[in-house]
C-alpha cells in the first residue's frame, strides 16, 4: 500500500492530474468571439449600404454617374485652363460637347429604330416565314418532351410581354434624374480643384495628406485615361462594324455601327446585345438564313479580336483588371442600377483597386513552389 507521500507525489504529476493536463493542452480558439462580432457588424453594414443604394437609386444613380464621369472629364477641364479659359466655362463647354456627341450617336441609332418600329407587323410575318426551317427541330424537341411526360404540342408558345412596361420604367431615367445628373456634373467639374484641396487638407499630418493626394491623382488619371482609351476603341469597333454591315448588305450600316460602339461601353452584355440585334436584322433583311447571319458572325470576329487582343493590350498597360472581378462587378451593379450600373461597373472597380493599392499595399511574399 503506497504511503501518503507517494500519493501526494502522484497527484502532482500531470498524468494523474486532469486539471493540469487540460491547462497544458489548452490552445487559443481558431475563431475568437470578437472576430465573429466584427465580421457580423461588417456584413450588416454592407447589407445596409446595398439596401440604401437600391432603394434610393433615384438619387444615388445620377449623382454617382455624374461624379464618375466628372472625374473622367476633369483632365479636359485642366487642358482648357492652360489656355486661360475659366474652370466654370470649361465645365459648361465639356458638358455641351459631351451632350452633342451623345445626341449624334442617338440620332444615328434612332433613325433605323423608328423605321423598324413602324414595320413591326410586317417584320413579325417575315420572322415566322424565315423560322420555318426550325419547324422540324422544334417538333422533334416537343416529341422528346412528350416521352418524358412534358407537353407534346409542337406549336411555339410566344412569351408574354407583361415585363416590357416595368422594364422600360426601370431603365428610362426621369426628368428629375436627368436634371440632377447635369447639375452635379457641371458643378463637380467646375469645383473639382477646390474639392480636392479640401479633401487633402482634412487629414492631420503631412504623410496622410500626401497619400490622399496620390490617391486622388491616380483616380483622376486612370479614369480619364480609361474613358479616352475605351472611347477610341469603341469608335474603331463601330467603324469596323459599319464596314462589315455595308459589305454584307445590311440596311443602315452607319446606325448599326453607332449601336455597336455605344453598347460596347457595357462589358460583356453590350457585344452580346449587338450580336443579337445584327442577327435579327440580318435574318429579316436577307433572303437566306446564312446570308442574314453573315454580319453577326463578322461582328463576332471583330469583337473577339477587340476583346481578347486590343483592349487587354492597351488597357492592361495602365491597370490590370481580373476577368472574374470584372464579371462579378458587372453582374452586381447591373442588378443594382440597370444599364447605367453596368457602365459604371468598370470605373468603380478601377477606383476600388486604386484604393486597395494605396491603402493596403501588397508586400513581397515568397510563396513555396508547388
One pLDDT digit (tens) per residue for the chain, 370 residues: 556 566 556 555 555 455 555 554 555 555 677 778 888 898 999 999 999 999 998 899 999 999 999 999 988 888 888 888 899 899 999 999 988 988 888 888 877 777 666 666 666 666 666 666 556 666 676 666 666 655 545 454 444 444 444 545 545 667 888 899 999 999 999 999 899 999 999 888 889 899 999 999 999 988 888 888 899 999 999 999 999 999 998 888 888 899 899 999 888 888 998 998 888 888 877 777 777 888 999 999 999 988 877 877 776 555 566 778 888 888 899 899 888 888 898 899 999 988 888 888 766 555 555 5
Please report the pLDDT score of residue 31 as a whole number: 60
Q: What are phi and psi of 365, to 5 degrees?
A: -115, 130
Domain assignment present for 8: no
Domain assignment present for 142: no
The total number of structural domains that make up the chain = 1
Domain assignment present for 289: yes
Domain assignment present for 304: yes
Domain assignment present for 266: yes
Q: Residue-wise over 293-326: b if at least 16 C-beta within 10 A, else e?
A: bbbbbbbbebbeebbeeebeeebeeebebeeeee
Domain of residue 310 covers 55-135+174-359
Please report the pLDDT score of residue 156 as a whole number: 47
> Which of 312, 323, 249 lies closest to 281 in space, CA to CA?
249
Please report the pLDDT score of residue 367 as a whole number: 52
> Which of 251, 229, 225, 253 lies closest to 239 in space, CA to CA?
253
Region for 252 from its dihedrals, namely left if φ exceeds 0, alpha if ψ lies in -120 to 50, beta otherwise: left
Domain assignment present for 180: yes
Domain assignment present for 351: yes
The contacts of residue 342 (CB under 8 Å, 6+ apart) are 266, 267, 269, 270, 330, 333, 334
Asked whether 256 and 278 are in contact (CB, 8 A), the reply is yes
C-alpha cell at 126: 417575315
Q: Residue-wise over 58-93: b if at least 16 C-beta within 10 A, else e?
A: eeebbbbbbbbbbbbbbebbeebeeeeeebeebbee
Domain assignment present for 97: yes
Amino acid at each position: 500500500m503506497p504511503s501518503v507521500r507517494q500519493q501526494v507525489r502522484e497527484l502532482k504529476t500531470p498524468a494523474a492530474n486532469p486539471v493540469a493536463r487540460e491547462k497544458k493542452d489548452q490552445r487559443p480558439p481558431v475563431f475568437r468571439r470578437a472576430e465573429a462580432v466584427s465580421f457580423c457588424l461588417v456584413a450588416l453594414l454592407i447589407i445596409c449600404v446595398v439596401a440604401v443604394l437600391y432603394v434610393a437609386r433615384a438619387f444615388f444613380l445620377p449623382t454617382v454617374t455624374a461624379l464618375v464621369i466628372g472625374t473622367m472629364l476633369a483632365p479636359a477641364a485642366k487642358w482648357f485652363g492652360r489656355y486661360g479659359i475659366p474652370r466654370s466655362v470649361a465645365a459648361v463647354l465639356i458638358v455641351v460637347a459631351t451632350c452633342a456627341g451623345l445626341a449624334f450617336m442617338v440620332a444615328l441609332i434612332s433613325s433605323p429604330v423608328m423605321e423598324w418600329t413602324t414595320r413591326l407587323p410586317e417584320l413579325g410575318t417575315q420572322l415566322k416565314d424565315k423560322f420555318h426551317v426550325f419547324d422540324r427541330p422544334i417538333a422533334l424537341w416537343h416529341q422528346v418532351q412528350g416521352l418524358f411526360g412534358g407537353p407534346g404540342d409542337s406549336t411555339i408558345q410566344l412569351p408574354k410581354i407583361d415585363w416590357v412596361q416595368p422594364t422600360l420604367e426601370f431603365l428610362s431615367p426621369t426628368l428629375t434624374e436627368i436634371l440632377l445628373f447635369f447639375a452635379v456634373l457641371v458643378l463637380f467639374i467646375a469645383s473639382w480643384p477646390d474639392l480636392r484641396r479640401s479633401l487633402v487638407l482634412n487629414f492631420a499630418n503631412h504623410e496622410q495628406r500626401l497619400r490622399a493626394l496620390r490617391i486622388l491623382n491616380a483616380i483622376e488619371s486612370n479614369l480619364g485615361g480609361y474613358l479616352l482609351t475605351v472611347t477610341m476603341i469603341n469608335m474603331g469597333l463601330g467603324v469596323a462594324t459599319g464596314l462589315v454591315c455595308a459589305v454584307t448588305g445590311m440596311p443602315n450600316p452607319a446606325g448599326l455601327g453607332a449601336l455597336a460602339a455605344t453598347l460596347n461601353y457595357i462589358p460583356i452584355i453590350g457585344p452580346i446585345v449587338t450580336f443579337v440585334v445584327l442577327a435579327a436584322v440580318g435574318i429579316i433583311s436577307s433572303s437566306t438564313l446564312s446570308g442574314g447571319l453573315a454580319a453577326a458572325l463578322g461582328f463576332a470576329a471583330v469583337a473577339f479580336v477587340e476583346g481578347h487582343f486590343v483592349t487587354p493590350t492597351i488597357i492592361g498597360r495602365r491597370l490590370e483588371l481580373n476577368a472574374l472581378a470584372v464579371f462579378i462587378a458587372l453582374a452586381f451593379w447591373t442588378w443594382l442600377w440597370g444599364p447605367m450600373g453596368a457602365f459604371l461597373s468598370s470605373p468603380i472597380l478601377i477606383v476600388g483597386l486604386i484604393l486597395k493599392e494605396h491603402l493596403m499595399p501588397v508586400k513581397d511574399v515568397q510563396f513555396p513552389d508547388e
